[in-house]
Amino acid sequence: MMKKLFLIAIACIIIGVIGISQTYEKAVQTAEKGDKEDVIKNETLKNIEVKLDAGDIVIQKSPDSSFYVKQSGDVRKQEIRIAEDGDTLKIIGEREKGASFDFSFYDFRFQTSKLTLLVPERSYQDVKVNSSAGQIEMSDVKSDSVSVRTLAGEVELKQVTAKNVEGSTKAGEVEL
């Protein structure tokens, strides 16, 4: 009888340890959720390149001469790298890769990440925005060339002035 109780107690402890190990990371990451913002002050940037694996992208006019890169929503799942490469501002977002099992069934909230880029009011040479999945909105931008592409999602361009404009999506709508 004591042997059975001992085996049941050991089994409960093992199940508890497995449960904690599977939900601890998610609980810590939930506490880390929040908005991130970076400010870039560079008057010489003439090109903008944004490439995200997934998430919504909004590009709007900045209130001053600085670039503002704001990431909101579930920011922990996509690492954003910001680089100034010559006269090009590059913003690259990659989703975390790798297989993991998630047994934490208590969190049913679904919140996508959103990248908001505020650009100074000036004329750019080239603006390229690419996303694998997500909505792309661009407004109040002047450029020689604008290219906006997504595989799945909507593309919306408002008050965009350019000599050459390309907008495409494989699954979704394009509104120019």
Could you tell me the residue range of the domain that residue 89 belongs to? 34-96+110-175
90 and 17 together in one domain: no
Look at residue 80 and tell me if it is in a domain.
Answer: yes
Q: Do the beta carbons of residue 131 and residue 113 sit within 8 Å?
A: no
pLDDT digits 0-9 by tens, 151-170: 999 999 999 999 999 988 88
Mean residue pLDDT across the chain: 84
Residue 111: the pLDDT is 59
Q: What is the 3-state secondary structure (H, E, C) of 97-135?
A: CCCCCCCCCCCCCCCCCEEEEEECCCEEEEEEEEEEECC
47 and 58 together in one domain: yes
pTM score of the predicted model: 0.73
pLDDT digits 0-9 by tens, 93-123: 887 665 444 444 444 445 578 999 999 999 9
Interior/surface letters 112-138, b for 16+ CB within 10 angstroms, e for the rest: ebbbbbbbbeeebebbbbbbbbbbbbb
User: Radius of gyration of the chain from Cα atoms?
Assistant: 22
41 and 26 together in one domain: no
Look at residue 72 and tell me if it is in a domain.
Answer: yes
Residue 118: the pLDDT is 96
Low-confidence ranges of the chain (pLDDT < 70): 23-34, 75-76, 96-111
Look at residue 105 and tell me if it is in a domain.
Answer: no
